[in-house]
Structure formats: structure tokens, C-alpha cells
Structure 1
Amino acid sequence: MSSNAPHQPVRDLRFFLTVPHACSYLEGREATTLFLDPQESHSEGVYDALALLGFRRSGRHLYRPHCEGCSACLSVRIPVADFAPSRSQRRVRRRNADLRWQVRPALYDPEHYALYDRYIRTRHADGDMYPPSHEQYRTFLTLDEPYARLMEFRLGHQLLGVTAFDRLDHGLSAIYTFFDPDPTWNRRSLGTFAVLSLVAYAQHLGLPHLYLGYWIRECRKMAYKEAYQPLEVLDGRHWRRLLTAG
């Protein structure tokens, strides 16, 4: 079990709630989201403190689910020092040993957007992010802040994937990954490799955690997060280790 107190009190910050809307993950459910007031400063320590309380970033917004009568969304993170890759994850590492990755500021890049556009149109044409647009991409994944980063993966000069993440005082926070949807690359499992690369990068930086966002037991789209062990879940204000993947 681990328990982390936020770096500073957050009780004086202003928040607001969205109106109920259709849940993106559980059919037939309504969702409500708690946002940090955009007028509040994202000063040093605020983001770190809110992340420990289960908040995520999307563009310039810090948020977390706040649904009446439902607590299905669980914040999860990997304690990277104890991470034990499975046999299949070790195979993914070997298959991608020829890729090189580079960390860059989270600024707009036409090459990145072209890959994002193909990814959304091929893999998520039935999702909330379809159809993609330059404005949507900029709002979601670009941010000129020192903590916002992009990790790109290349085979030679060819861009195969990009992962957006934030560097916090107590870990990295994975935001979104997109990659080349051509079936040629399926065997590489680029989504898995992106998570493994963030684990390795957190270890390299000496940071204790990789935050994976929200996990819902009943949602098949989120089942992949159970494959990263050990996994910790936010239970109220305390992070507790899941004893089994289930």
C-alpha cells in the first residue's frame, strides 16, 4: 500500500462541473466531469497535487470524473521500480529494438498531425474524436508548457508513433498515443511499446510512477491496463496496490 499527500492544499482552488452527458465508456450511463477553473493558475505544485488526487490533463484543462452514484473510473499508475514485464511485453521490446525514440516539447508538427489524422480515421472512425481536425489536434495534444512532452518513435526516418505525456514531480502521466495504422506494423504492438518506453523513461529519470489515466473494470477498451503489473489504484486519497490483475 502507498499513501501520498498532495504537494500543497487544493481546497482554495475553484472548480466547476459539466452538465451530465452520455458516458463514453459505459453504455446507458451518464457522466459528469469536475474541471479546475481555467482561470486558475497552473503554478508549480498545483498540477502535481491534483494528479495525486486523480486529475488528468486534456489540452489546457485538468479534470477528473465526478459522477453521481458511480465510481467506476479508477485512477491507476505503475510503480516503475517494481514493474515486471510479462513474456509478451518482453517480446514487444525485442521486436521494436530497431526503433529510436526522441522526446520533444508538445508543439504542433505537421508530420505528427498527418499521422494522427490517419490513425483516427482508420482506428477510431466510430469514436468521439472523429473526424479529426487541425484545431482538435492542437487543442487536445499541443501545449507550450515545460511539463508537456511528446515522445516520437521512428524506424530510420519514418515516423511510426507519437505519445503525448507530462513530466510531473512524482512521475510521468501518459495522455494519448497514436501510431501508424497500416497492418504492416501490427506485429510490433506499437501501443504497448509506447507504454513500455514511458516506463523506461520514468526509470531513467528516477521518477517513481507512470500514470495511465482511468481504468474501468467493465470496459473492454481499458482492459489492456491490467497487463502492466504491479498496478496501483487510487482509493479515495490513498494509492493501493492491486493484488491481482482482476
Structure 2
Amino acid sequence: MRHTLPLAPQFYVTAPQPCPYLEGRMERKLFTSLQGDSAEKLNDSLSHQGFRRSQNVLYRPSCTDCAACLSARIDVSTFKLTKSQKRILKRNAHLTRRATSPWATEEQYELFRRYLETRHADGGMADMDVFEFAAMIEETPIRTRVIEYTDRKTEELVGSCLTDVLSDGLSMVYSFYTPDRPQDSLGTHVILDHIQIAQDAGLPYVYLGYWVPGSDKMGYKARFSGLEVYSGGTWQPVANPDDYEAPAHPLSNDPISEQVANIALPDLSPKRSSERG
């Protein structure tokens, strides 16, 4: 008997665990698998609704009493460089960008380990071995690139970003960089360079992942003009980041059944041969 995957994606919820961003709060995620011929279409649609990709999974925060995490993106048409960001670009003018297929290397893993040990030693990825790292980079059912940044003077890999190419922009899945150059603000540089890539390609947005008001780890995302957040079912421009807070209340989120019912799904039915042309 031949078994086929259901056309409509199935959604699940993770068990609560300590929040990595806000002390004393619990984190929970709503997620679905990303597979099959319609993976790219589903990824595009759910990314527009605040979901993020991790390997073959799409997820969105769905905490029981907190709604602090906001999916964030930059509208590149309204983005304007600050004086500080101009200095960062000038300071890193000696870096060379290279876009490759999603293939993990020993050099990337070594850089990744140094980054984690300095910046996120107590994070969820701290124990990730080389095989798990390779899975993070290589297990993708959609159009993905690894963007590498190399120092032209030393030929050293100083930064890397796993980047998905969406229909309307670039999604920065995960970036890491050398911790030895804090004065170069390499994390900011990587975002600024992705904005430039999107502008050159005619793509309107750069998706940054989640911005968490009140979290020092995520505060840097509010420093970019053109920032938008997904809230209340729509993307909203952020005029003043200080207007946002990290609410904690039992009524912060709708019940899971309502959240799933309100997700707009694309048409995932296979095209008939006559429609394929």
C-alpha cells in the first residue's frame, strides 16, 4: 500500500522550558514539519506570518503567558544608514563576501565553536557537535545559501550566515562570527551586508528572526531603521522601540486551536499535468 503525506501541514506544540531571553519566564513553540514538493511554498507563506525555519521545521513562539517575542524584518526601501553603521561598513571594507551552497566545513565549525564559547556558552547550542552543526547547515528542503566573510589580508574566515532565499527577501537563519574583533561589530556588519544583497537583488525585506523587548541579547535588532514586527496578525513599522514591552499575562496569547485556525495556508495541492505546461 502506498502512503502519502497529508497535504495540510500538522501543527504541534513543544513542552514548556526556561526562556533563553527573559529570566523567570517559560518558552513554548508552535511548529510543523517542512517537507515535500511544497516545502518552499509553505516556508514562504509561514515566514510571512512570523514563523522561522530550523532545518526541516518551521516554528513560532506560542508561550502560555508571554507575548514578548516579535518576528522582525527590515524594509530595505525605508532603511537608512546611521553614522555608526557607516563607520562599521568602512571598518570592514577589507572583508570579502562569498555565497556558497549549504555545505558545512571544518573552518565554519571551528568559528562556530569559538563564537558560542564566547557569546552563548550557556545557550541551547553550546553542546552542538560537528555532526549536529552539519545538519543545521545542510538539512534544508528550500533554497538556502551560506554567506561567508573572509579577511582579504589574512584569508581568515571571520563570519558566516546561513541564509534562506524567500520570495520576498532574505531570511537570516543563523549567523556567527569571530569573537576576537569586538571593535569591528561583525554581527551588525553581516546584517548591513544582507540589506545590501537584498537591495541589489530587488528583494524588499531582510528577516532577522525574533526581537525580544527587554532582552539584552536581542536589543541590537532595534538599532536598524525600517524595522517591522509581526504583531496582531500584521506587519507593523516600529517607530519607537521604547514603545514595546515584554508583556506577561495569562491572556497574552490565544488558545493553540485558535492560533492554528488563524494561520493562512497556501494551496499545497499538486498541479495537474495540464497546468505544468
TM-score normalised over the length of structure 1: 0.89
For residue 215 of structure 2, what is the aligned residue in structure 1?
219
Counterparts of 1:126-205 in structure 2, within 5 Å, are 126-156=122-152, 157-182=155-180, 185-205=181-201
Contact residue 58 and residue 141 of structure 1 kept, 8 A: no
Deviates more, 1:31-40 or 1:89-98: 31-40
For residue 246 of structure 2, what is the aligned residue in structure 1?
none
Query: Match of 2:119, as an amino acid?
Result: R
Matched, 1:242 2:238: yes
Matched, 1:36 2:32: yes
Aligned match for 1:210, one of 202, 206, 210: 206
Percent of residue pairs identical: 38
For residue 59 of structure 1, what is the aligned residue in structure 2?
55
Provide the C-alpha distance between the structure 1 equivalents of 2:121 and 2:216, rounded to a whole number of angstroms. 18
Query: Match of 1:169, as an amino acid?
Result: S
- SS of residue matched to 1:48: helix
For residue 67 of structure 2, what is the aligned residue in structure 1?
71
Aligned match for 2:102, one of 103, 106, 112: 106
Query: Match of 2:100, as an amino acid?
Result: R
- SS of residue matched to 2:225: coil
Q: How many pairs are equivalent?
A: 234
Deviates more, 1:97-106 or 1:29-38: 29-38
Provide the C-alpha distance between the structure 2 equivalents of 1:224 and 1:39, rounded to a whole number of angstroms. 33
Q: Deviations over 1:20-52 (max 9, x none)?
A: 111111111111111113566653311000001
The structure-2 alpha-carbon separation of the partners of 1:168 and 1:62, relative to structure 1 and needing over 3 Å to count, comes to: same
For residue 117 of structure 2, what is the aligned residue in structure 1?
121
Q: Deviations over 1:80-124 (max 9, x none)?
A: 111111111110000011111011111111111111122212322
Query: Match of 1:100, as an amino acid?
Result: T
The CA deviation at 1:162 is: 0.5
Q: Deviations over 1:113-153 (max 9, x none)?
A: 11112221232222222134112212323335451111100
Structure 1 segments (4+ residues) deviating >6 Å: none
Contact residue 14 and residue 40 of structure 1 kept, 8 A: no
Provide the C-alpha distance between the structure 2 equivalents of 1:195 and 1:14, rounded to a whole number of angstroms. 33
Counterparts of 1:14-25 in structure 2, within 5 Å, are 14-25=10-21
Contact residue 100 and residue 145 of structure 2 kept, 8 A: yes
Deviates more, 1:119-128 or 1:19-28: 119-128
Query: Match of 1:117, as an amino acid?
Result: R
- SS of residue matched to 1:64: strand
TM-score normalised over the length of structure 2: 0.80
Query: Match of 2:111, as an amino acid?
Result: L
Provide the C-alpha distance between the structure 2 equivalents of 1:40 and 1:20, rounded to a whole number of angstroms. 29
Provide the C-alpha distance between the structure 1 equivalents of 2:8 and 2:125, rounded to a whole number of angstroms. 33
Question: Structure 2: which 5+ runs fail to align?
Answer: 1-6, 243-277
Provide the C-alpha distance between the structure 2 equivalents of 1:69 and 1:145, rounded to a whole number of angstroms. 33
Give the CA RMSD over aligned residues: 1.7
Provide the C-alpha distance between the structure 1 equivalents of 2:114 and 2:193, rounded to a whole number of angstroms. 23
Query: Match of 2:94, as an amino acid?
Result: D
Contact residue 56 and residue 141 of structure 2 kept, 8 A: no
Q: Deviations over 1:51-94 (max 9, x none)?
A: 01100011221111111222111111100111111111110000
Question: Structure 1: which 5+ runs fail to align?
Answer: 1-10
- SS of residue matched to 2:77: helix
For residue 4 of structure 1, what is the aligned residue in structure 2?
none
Contact residue 145 and residue 163 of structure 2 kept, 8 A: yes
